[in-house]
Chain A
Amino acid sequence: MTTPLVAGLLAGAILSGTSLLYATLGETLVERSGIVNLGLEGLLLIGASVGFALTAASGNPWLGVAGAAAAAASANLLFGWLVVTRKANQLATGLGLMFFGFGVSALIGSRYTGAVISGLPRWRPAWLGDVAWIKSTTLFNYDLLTWLAVPVACLAWWVLFETRWGLGLRAVGENPAAAFAAGRDPAALQYQVLPLGGALAGLAGAHLSLAVTLTWSEYMTGGRGFIAIALVIFSKWNPLWAIAGALLFGGAEALQLQLQARGTGISPFFLDMVPYLLTLLVLLAWGGSRRLAAPASLGRTFYGSS
């Protein structure tokens, strides 16, 4: 029996959207502290390649997940050292991180290309598995990272908006001089959030190689890092809105393939553009308004402390 379009779309959206959500959460936390990391694509690739390499070498996907998070966190710390301590330009350094990620991931992944892994195990609650129209789809049959995606987003929201640490972080992102005068250490807070954001980006990459594609090839992420950066703006730097954004963009990616599989007469080349068109439209609609609460010091280097 064929799946209704909505169910197929939802399943595809969740499959594609999980890695987008983790990447967006990582970038949201880091941007809330005033640092814009354009190298998210590189972090995703590092996570994907390290995760795949560790899984292929050891046979244990959880080791791959942990390794991916650790590797991306370290890369983000390196980025942080350049941007916070050495006060380099954030945009240029971020792009440098992206190219670094391209190269390192290709180097790490080249030995393991073609390795066959079984990936992250999937699990579906038994009572859902018995429902007829769910059984034949991939709905609710997820690996642990997908099940945890929304809880992690809620946790990120809670940490940002309901804890003192989160308050300090947001203060640093809005006005580091004021935060410094109030006794917070902007550099320390930024150094604390960078590995956290990096770990989330590493999880996003690991999900891509260990749960979605079960393989590794160069530049596998295909621009997802940049879509995540746009999603951060779309979600107004709020982790809860990021869930909706990730579903929307994951759905856009799934939509074009689902529409092709349904035999609609729309050109596959046009459909291929849809996720990126959507990104542009979203930035047009949301990018310019001052009300939309970008952290006021986003991208600016703070020279006061150190």
Chain B
Amino acid sequence: MSFKVWEPPMRTEAAFGRIIPIAQGLTPQSCAMKEGITPAILSANTLPLRLFSGGASTMWDLDPALATPETLKSLVKTFIATGGQIYQGNTTSVEELENALAEPEKYPNLMVRVGGFSSRFVALQPDVQREIVQRHRHSH
């Protein structure tokens, strides 16, 4: 049996034919998440997620300095308690990803969560790499 997790396309053609990366799954667009990860999670979970066949996927990238086990535990627990279904995330820093873009030969083993799967960062298409770098890293 296979499940289809609902995911929109990675890119969209905006007005004037400009191609812009868009957020993964039901994750809010990064520029919309101005108040941190907690309002973004509560907001995404106000949608009627039960209507999504196979589950609704979300990505929550955190600054590595914030990603303590206690904090992650609380985020995931509340995510589930408020109706969330699929929680995925990265705790790599933007700096590390940019280094990997500049010198891919030095980062053969850097794994990232893309959407419904994980991959070696340097093996991804440039579009997808760019999208991961641009994701909002919730931090203070």
**B is a partner of A:** no
